[in-house]
Structure 1
Amino acid sequence: MVRPIALLALPALALTASILRGPPSPLRPTTSADGVGPLTRRRYWAEVEGATRTPQDIATDWRNRLPQHSPKAMAWFRGLDHPVPPIAQGDRLWILLLGTRRARVVIEHVDDMGFRARTLRLHPDAGTSEFRVLPGHRAGHLVLQVESVMRTNSRFDRIAYILGVHAAQRMTWERVLDSVAAYSGGQIMNRGHETVELPMLPQVPELLAGSSAEE
């Protein structure tokens, strides 16, 4: 006779098996249609004074040494197609999030002031993250920014985000900004973050995440 507690455990086991198995076409780039829940834009920024390196040098180092700038306990990066660095447009990265969750991204755009990564299907989110160095109006002044436009990739990931993953994401990007600021030679004078839920319109992630890089 099957006990009630065993019946209750079956959905959890099925969900665990699904996560371990991964989605179909795990290395296909995501679109907004792949996610669930609201389309969300999250922006993390740090204002730096006294930078001794150029914005272009900072952006190049940020891209090429993204694994070193990231806290390994939160996000462990390595190259999927070749050892990194360097990291160039078209490269795919293997990521282990929080020591348990597999994730894959592709670098879909690179320019002098930053780069943009798009998640692949094997990732908790569906969308893009853009990493920018925004020069100020005086020498040594700049803003470092991470802007993500995402939907969660599954209902499980949506629940996990609400229950606490959002705090881990914020901590990860803040530590990344700290590391990049240290490389710049300057000091963080101000910082912040914001989260905005957006209307679900066709191609919104691509337009929003790509606008600053393409202009």
Structure 2
Amino acid sequence: MILPWLWRWPPGLLLAAVRELTSDVPVHLVDRVEAVRPPPAPADCTGLQLPEDGVGPLFHRRYSAEIQLHLCTAADVMALFVAAPDRMVPGEVARFEPEGDHADLRPGDDLVVRMPGPWDGPVRVLDVTPTSFRLATRPGHLEAGQIEFRADDRGMRMLFEIESWARSSSRAADVLYDRLRLSRRLQAYLWVRCCARVCAVAGGRLVDGVEIYTGRDESVVGERV
């Protein structure tokens, strides 16, 4: 249906734009050309949309945030994330909507990440560990690939990262993401705010903002028409 995203689109994007302009979180961009190596595909790919199903360049993106003087361990933070993912993302641009009868993330779960505009993200939970979880995209998502969320204790600091390996799911999605960079900008806002939320939940402070690393691989073969 069109109406559900139509009424959420302008308010969500407007609020995101205002918060991005007034954000005090430093963002550091690092862009590279690299041979991207995504993680192995799951044994059962039924119902998934992986890089070989996409079009355009293969992107490797990593959002990294070092958190100092935190009060929680990496396992504590990720347990909270897995139990209530909506708590860790900005509600104006994302909402995790489970398709099952529970809100926490469990391997094999299908869910939809609702976003403003016609680009909701159907995903499946591939793996959950005490300090990480990984999702794969499903048909209907703007991207084709995998994304992992993880935290690691490093003495007085904690490293939180969001890492993805994906191509656009269609030519239209490629235009929005790689040419116009509209969905890429919204995605960056979403995950930078997620890093800030994790920092707040951990009771610490960001050491030097959030680094966004982008690796681009033009050599991938196979393109869905």
TM-score (norm 1): 0.76
Q: Which residue of 1 aligns with 2:202?
A: 184
Q: Which residues of structure 1 form unaligned runs of 5+?
A: 1-26, 203-215
Q: Which residues of structure 2 form unaligned runs of 5+?
A: 1-45
Aligned equivalents of 2:152, 2:73: Cα separation in 1: 11
**CA RMSD in angstroms, aligned pairs only:** 1.6
Contact 1:74/1:99 (8 A) holds in 2: no
Q: Does residue 169 of structure 2 align to residue 150 of structure 1?
A: no
Q: Which residue of 2 aligns with 1:70?
A: 89
- For 1:61-210, list aligned pairs within 5 A: 61-84=80-103, 86-136=104-154, 138-139=155-156, 141-161=157-177, 162-163=179-180, 164-190=182-208, 191-198=210-217, 199-200=219-220
Contact 2:50/2:166 (8 A) holds in 1: no
Equivalent residue letter for 2:97:
R
Equivalent residue letter for 2:75:
Q
Aligned equivalents of 1:61, 1:159: Cα separation in 2: 36
Q: Greater CA deviation, 35-44 or 97-106?
A: 97-106
Greater Rg over alpha carbons, structure: 1
**Alpha-carbon distance change, 160 to 83 in structure 1, aligned in 2, over 3 angstroms:** same
Aligned equivalents of 1:105, 1:54: Cα separation in 2: 27
Deviating 4+ runs (over 6 angstroms): none
* Matched residue count: 173
Q: Which residue of 2 aligns with 1:36?
A: 55
Q: Secondary structure at the match of 2:95?
A: strand
Q: Secondary structure at the match of 1:37?
A: strand
Contact 1:58/1:183 (8 A) holds in 2: yes
Q: Greater CA deviation, 143-152 or 99-108?
A: 99-108
Shift of 1:95: 1.9
**Alpha-carbon distance change, 184 to 201 in structure 1, aligned in 2, over 3 angstroms:** farther
Contact 2:97/2:114 (8 A) holds in 1: no
TM-score (norm 2): 0.73
Q: Secondary structure at the match of 2:197?
A: helix
Contact 1:75/1:172 (8 A) holds in 2: yes
Aligned equivalents of 2:73, 2:88: Cα separation in 1: 18
Higher relative contact order (CA 8 A, sep 6+): 2
Aligned equivalents of 1:81, 1:201: Cα separation in 2: 35
- Percent identical across equivalent pairs? 27
Contact 2:93/2:116 (8 A) holds in 1: yes
Q: Going by fraction, where is helix more abundant, 1 or 2?
A: 1
